[in-house]
Amino acid sequence: MTSLADLTTMRVGGEPTRLVEAATTDELVELAREVTADGDDWFVLGGGSNTLAADEGFDGTVLRVATRGVERLDDVDGRVRLRVAAGEPWEDLVAHTVDQGWSGFEALSGIPGSTGASPIQNIGAYGQEVAQTLVSVDFLDAETGEFVRVPAANLGLGYRTSVFKRGRRGVVTAVEFALVDDGGTSAQVSYPQLATALGVGLGDRVPVADVRASVLALRASKGMVLDPADADATSCGSFFTNPIVPRQVAAALPSAAPRWPVDPEPEARVVPLGDAPAPPPPPSSGLVKLSAAWLIEQAGIGRGFRLPGSGAAISSKHTLALTNRGSATAADVAELARFVQQRVSAEFGVVLHPEPVLLGLSL
């Protein structure tokens, strides 16, 4: 039996009780109906890049999605519409769209995993996220057994979350996107680090191929591109999400702590004398996003840190990644993750939450 270590980028995890694989959408729908109806525990696995599986394996059925295909639909409102099979590797899809000169995915280059997982996590990087281009998902609802097409507006998309992460169970079979064909020109560059790498200003547009190349270089410098020759790449990528906390919690942190208001600043408005007063700005959530990497580093955990005798370590390139140095067990990774959580909580009173799905274990 194939182990979950063979199917995940962290390279840890034991065998599932049962493993089934779907190579076509029809097979996926049929297997999904069978697996979700038989009463046993089940788990859907795509590229395995966002999963930490227990050493004991999984007491249930793993449904591996290996479907492929990118279909161009009729363009709508000048946008290129694509329906993509859930098992299509995300990086292959991004490379294809950049080669075509379409924008919308270029800053999401180098992210491992499958396309079907992209709306579940609402993946994002360098100023782009899937929510900006997502139209709908084709979905087999495990509770009702119905096969439905769910519009993006009904998916509750947020920072690294969706309704699927908040309890709606089922299987994504295909995803529809709308991209922009602007002669090979990117969307506005909105991430400072990317703008610096490109040598342009925020809001500028450049060739999509240039954005992709810069993002791949940035990710590789952080060990965030799959590479068998790089031990730092044997990971789940960023292990913790950037915490979102009340404004008063952020205010208690050192002034050097990076922070970003969750709500954008309201636009300034000039009202001529005698005119009716401007309406009040929309209410603020009062929430602030913090840098998990900064919190970890300032809690005394640096790059390359490992617990004595452990096969897991913090990446030597990026503090947010927990890596398998070749001999790690899932227990090693979980122990290191707990240690990081405890140190950050003790130092700053902030709880870090894991980004990957934990299969058969908890922190």
Query: Which residue is it, tokens 């300032």?
Result: 298
160 part of the active site: yes
Tokens standing for 240?
């913790």
Tokens standing for 40?
């046993």
Catalytic residue among 160, 162, 219, 235: 160
Cβ neighbours of residue 167 under 8 Å, at least 6 residues apart? none
Tell me the C-alpha distance between 209 and 102, whole Å. Answer: 10
Catalytic residue among 103, 114, 162, 238: 238
312-314, strands of its sheet edge to edge: 235-238, 321-324, 312-314
162 part of the active site: no
Per-residue buried b or exposed e for 211-225, using 16+ beta carbons within 10 Å of the residue's own CB = bbbbbbebbbebbbb
Pairing type for strands 147-151 and 134-141 reads antiparallel
Residue ranges with strand state E in the chain: 16-22, 42-45, 51-53, 58-65, 70-72, 79-85, 102-103, 124-125, 128-129, 134-141, 147-151, 170-181, 235-238, 244-246, 259-261, 287-290, 312-314, 321-324, 357-359
Helix, strand, coil tally for the chain in percent (to 5): 25, 25, 45
**DSSP character at residue 89:** B
Catalytic residue among 91, 129, 176, 355: 355
Tell me the backbone φ, ψ of residue 323, rounded to 5 degrees: -120, 155
Q: Catalytic residue positions?
A: 160, 238, 355
